[in-house]
């Protein structure tokens, strides 16, 4: 770490409190920083606290600065009410996710139909049964916008007790809101439906599911075939494929780790099934005139060809931000005429709103009007943006801790963008980008050493070896 600043005297308890408030973004001014000749900024306050040993390097202030909730939700969770449900416990279903996932909210399965059709089932935890619109749980989830995933902790949008009660595969059987698509061998949908169900779910990691796919087991072989066909259809409609490195960042008081995520085919298969479920939910809502937070996206600003890292980087930059609105519209990045995020109601508030509306329709209870859906979109997007930014900054912080702990290590890197004399360098093993002054063209592979890590400023320098 860089720590060239001059030594400073110890702080009194009152001075420490004052500096910490600035570092946490809770107070804009500090007489203590002023008297020490330091800028009155959160970064300068953070640096001072590190230098004095009052904070350690594991401390991340970004969620606090952005106003993201750091306390778990402790509201009471009601039991599931008795109500009519379609019994699907005879059909195998699988919740497939990363190893160690603690909030399984979706599962997939198939059902053979006549006439060459296969029914794809995407079961989603029936969270809206426990957190209906206007309930205290709904209001708390709306205030948070999304679950906060930090490298050292997870703060749920909803109580842990709700996850334990509704998570798929955490009990012998689970209540679900299930979305179905009747697909032909080419991936075309003959019909879609949404029903309240009871399901029996087995939990698997992506790697376990991949092993079963490679062994030729069902339903994994059929799921993979349907996913490939669906992807081909969407690509024909302009869907963009972006394949950039992904990593898992974990942290604790004793250090941080960054591990590249494997990308077995079953990860793609599950993602495609979730995309199909969102498309089917949007079709169902449109057919029944239900206002949802439909996800829309403008067409890319330009076409980028190629599969290199530079091309993938450039293609991602052509994408407009996804917008949410109470009426359907095209989602060009996915190559779909309409779409709604519907498979993570435990983790994303707008998914929960989708479920609340679908459930209201299925049970004959009042729907939220379009204006109310729009108001919830505005609040949830603002709050979820703070959550996502806190996640991004915290991941960067702990990635830099991981880098600083091995100063002699050399990293493979690729130039993925250029702007004048400067370039953007991507380090795949870290999924980390940073600026570099180099004449090297896009696509150039370099070997670099990372130096001068500055945690408060979240910066690091790359030196070509």
* Claim to verify: residue 141 and residue 264 sit in the same structural domain: yes
pLDDT at 103 over 90: no
Query: Does any domain span residue 398?
Result: no
Average pLDDT of the residues in 196-220: 97
* Claim to verify: residue 44 and residue 151 sit in the same structural domain: no
Query: Does any domain span residue 347?
Result: yes
Distance CA 45, CA 88 (A): 57
Distance CA 176, CA 124 (A): 5
Query: Does any domain span residue 423?
Result: yes
Hey, what long-range contacts does 96-101 have (CB within 8 A, 24 or more apart)? 96/203, 96/204, 96/205, 96/206, 96/209, 96/266, 96/270, 97/203, 97/205, 97/206, 97/270, 98/205, 98/206, 98/248, 98/261, 99/205, 99/206, 99/207
Residue-wise pLDDT for 63-98, tens only, equals 999 999 999 999 999 999 999 999 999 999 999 998
Residue 241, pLDDT score: 86
Residue at a domain's end among 375, 396, 416: 375
* Claim to verify: residue 122 and residue 229 sit in the same structural domain: yes
Cβ contacts of 190 within 8 Å, gap of 6 or more? 117, 182, 183, 184
> What percent of the chain has pLDDT above 70?
98
* Claim to verify: residue 320 and residue 443 sit in the same structural domain: no
Provide the domain count of the chain: 3
pLDDT at 114 over 90: no
pLDDT at 5 over 60: no
Query: Does any domain span residue 191?
Result: yes
* Claim to verify: residue 447 and residue 326 sit in the same structural domain: no
Residue-wise pLDDT for 351-361, tens only, equals 999 999 999 99
- Give the sign of the dihedral formed by CA 432, CA 436, CA 441, CA 447: negative
Alpha helices in 349-462 (DSSP H): 349-363, 370-404
* Claim to verify: residue 371 and residue 416 sit in the same structural domain: no
Distance CA 204, CA 95 (A): 6
Closest to 325 measured CA to CA, from 362, 364, 361, 298: 298
Q: Which helix (H) or strand (E) holds 97?
A: strand 93-97
Residue-wise pLDDT for 27-76, tens only, equals 999 999 999 999 999 999 999 999 999 999 999 999 999 999 999 999 99
Residue-wise pLDDT for 135-175, tens only, equals 999 999 999 999 999 999 999 999 999 999 999 999 999 99
Residue-wise pLDDT for 322-349, tens only, equals 999 999 999 999 999 999 999 999 999 9
Round the average pLDDT of the chain to a whole number and report it. Answer: 95
Residue-wise pLDDT for 287-297, tens only, equals 999 999 999 99
* Claim to verify: residue 122 and residue 173 sit in the same structural domain: yes
* Claim to verify: residue 364 and residue 412 sit in the same structural domain: no
For residues 212 and 306, the answer to whether their CB atoms sit within 8 Å is no
Cβ contacts of 403 within 8 Å, gap of 6 or more? 409, 430, 450, 453, 460
Model pTM score: 0.94
Residue 410: give the domain boundaries: 406-464
Average pLDDT of the residues in 273-297: 97
* Claim to verify: residue 301 and residue 350 sit in the same structural domain: yes
């Amino acid at each position: 770490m860089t720590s060239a600043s001059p030594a400073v005297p110890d702080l009194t308890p009152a001075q420490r409190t004052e500096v910490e408030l600035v570092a946490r973004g809770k107070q804009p001014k500090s007489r203590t920083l002023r008297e020490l000749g330091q800028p009155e900024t959160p970064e300068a306050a953070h640096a001072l606290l590190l230098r004095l040993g009052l904070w350690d390097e594991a401390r991340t202030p970004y969620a606090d600065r952005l106003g993201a909730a750091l306390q778990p939700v402790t509201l009471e969770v009601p039991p599931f009410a008795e109500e009519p449900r379609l019994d699907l416990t005879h059909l195998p279903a699988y919740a497939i996710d990363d190893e160690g996932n603690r909030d399984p909210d979706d599962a997939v399965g198939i059902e053979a139909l006549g006439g060459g059709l296969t029914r794809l089932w995407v079961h989603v935890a029936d969270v809206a049964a426990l957190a209906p619109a206007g309930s205290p749980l709904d209001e708390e989830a709306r205030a948070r916008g999304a679950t906060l995933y930090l490298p050292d902790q997870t703060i749920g949008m909803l109580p842990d007790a709700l996850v334990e009660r509704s998570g798929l595969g955490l009990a012998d059987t689970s209540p679900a809101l299930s979305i179905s698509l009747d697909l032909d061998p080419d991936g075309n949908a003959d019909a879609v439906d949404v029903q309240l169900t009871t399901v029996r779910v087995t939990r698997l990691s992506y790697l376990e599911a991949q092993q079963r796919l490679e062994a030729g087991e069902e339903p994994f072989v059929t799921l993979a075939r349907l996913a490939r066909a669906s992807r081909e259809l969407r690509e024909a409609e302009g869907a963009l494929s972006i394949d950039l490195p992904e990593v898992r960042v974990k942290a604790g008081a004793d250090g941080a780790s960054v591990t590249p995520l494997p990308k077995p085919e079953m990860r793609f298969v599950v993602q495609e099934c979730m995309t199909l479920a969102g498309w089917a939910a949007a079709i169902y809502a449109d057919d029944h005139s239900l206002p949802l937070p439909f996800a829309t996206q403008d067409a890319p600003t330009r076409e980028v060809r190629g599969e290199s890292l530079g091309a993938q980087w450039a293609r991602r930059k052509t994408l407009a931000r996804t917008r949410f609105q109470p009426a359907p519209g095209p989602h060009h990045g996915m190559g779909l005429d309409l779409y709604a995020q519907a498979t993570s109601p435990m983790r994303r508030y707008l998914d929960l709103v989708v479920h609340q509306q679908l459930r209201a329709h299925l049970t004959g209870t009042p729907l939220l009007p379009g204006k109310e859906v729009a108001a919830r979109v505005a609040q949830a997007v603002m709050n979820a943006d703070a959550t996502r930014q806190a996640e991004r900054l915290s991941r960067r912080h702990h990635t830099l801790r991981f880098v600083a702990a091995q100063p002699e290590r050399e990293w493979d890197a690729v130039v993925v963008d250029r702007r004048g004399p400067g370039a953007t360098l991507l380090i795949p093993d870290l999924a980390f980008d940073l600026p570099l002054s180099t004449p090297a063209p896009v696509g150039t592979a370099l070997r670099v050493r990372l130096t001068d890590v500055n945690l408060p400023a979240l910066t690091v320098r790359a030196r070509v070896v």
